[in-house]
Amino acid sequence: MKYIRWFSVHPDVAKHTKFTSMLHRFDHINVVAKFRMGCHWLKCEERVVDRIKIPRSQRLCTLCDFHKCEDEMHIFECPFYNDIRLKFQQLFKHICCDNYQNNNMTIWSWNFSDDNFRQFMNGYQDPSFWLDLAFFLIACRKKRKAGLRALAAQNSLSSSSLDEA
């Protein structure tokens, strides 16, 4: 139910700009559409691991110490993506009050409520929002892939050193 609330049209957004009319490249449309439909690269979509069904609440982010489900909202609060959020500060300009708009701390310590996230995911009638979101999601996906690869290599090294001992 939470997912449906996040991506439905917010009542405060009279005429929201649809991403399908603002994005023109396949990779941009693809990443935003998959993110909004919930068929993406985040762990919350990993239903079965080694034939064992994993409850959504146990699909935790392995790239931070928040012990939270790695879902659509998590990439906007996970410290692993701080550098990307800082590169895309203009994406968050509508949710940061004017007093803190240029304060980097706001970007990575922001906690979305369901309502904030819902409003955020409707684009704020800003023509650049959807393209910025597409680039943000692509950057997060790339960094996550590299982070998981590094984590797997680290785990592989530590398990091989245990085998030798």
pLDDT score of 91:
86
Half-sphere exposure in the Cβ direction for 13 (13 Å, CA): 21
92 belongs to a structural domain: yes
30 belongs to a structural domain: yes
Half-sphere exposure in the Cβ direction for 95 (13 Å, CA): 24
The Cα 116–Cα 73 span in angstroms is 11
> Do 55 and 143 contact (CB within 8 A), yes or no?
no
- The range of the structural domain enclosing residue 72 comes to 2-151
Q: How many independent structural domains does the chain possess?
A: 1
165 belongs to a structural domain: no
89 belongs to a structural domain: yes
Q: Which residue stretches of 8-128 are H helix?
A: 19-22, 26-37, 82-87, 104-109, 114-120
Map residue 150 onto helix, strand or coil.
helix
- Residue 113 tokens read as 């409520």
51 belongs to a structural domain: yes
Per-residue pLDDT tens, the chain, 165 aa: give them. Answer: 455 555 566 555 555 567 777 888 999 999 998 998 888 888 888 777 778 888 888 889 999 999 999 988 889 889 999 999 889 888 877 766 544 455 554 455 566 677 777 777 877 777 788 999 999 999 999 999 999 999 999 888 776 655 555
48 belongs to a structural domain: yes
14 belongs to a structural domain: yes
| Beta strands per DSSP E along 6-94 | 48-49, 52-53
CB-count exposure of residue 152 (10 Å: 0-12, 13-18, 19+): exposed
Q: What is the DSSP string of 107-155?
A: HHH----HHHHHHHTTGGG-TTHHHHHHHHHHHHHHHHHHHHHHHHHHH
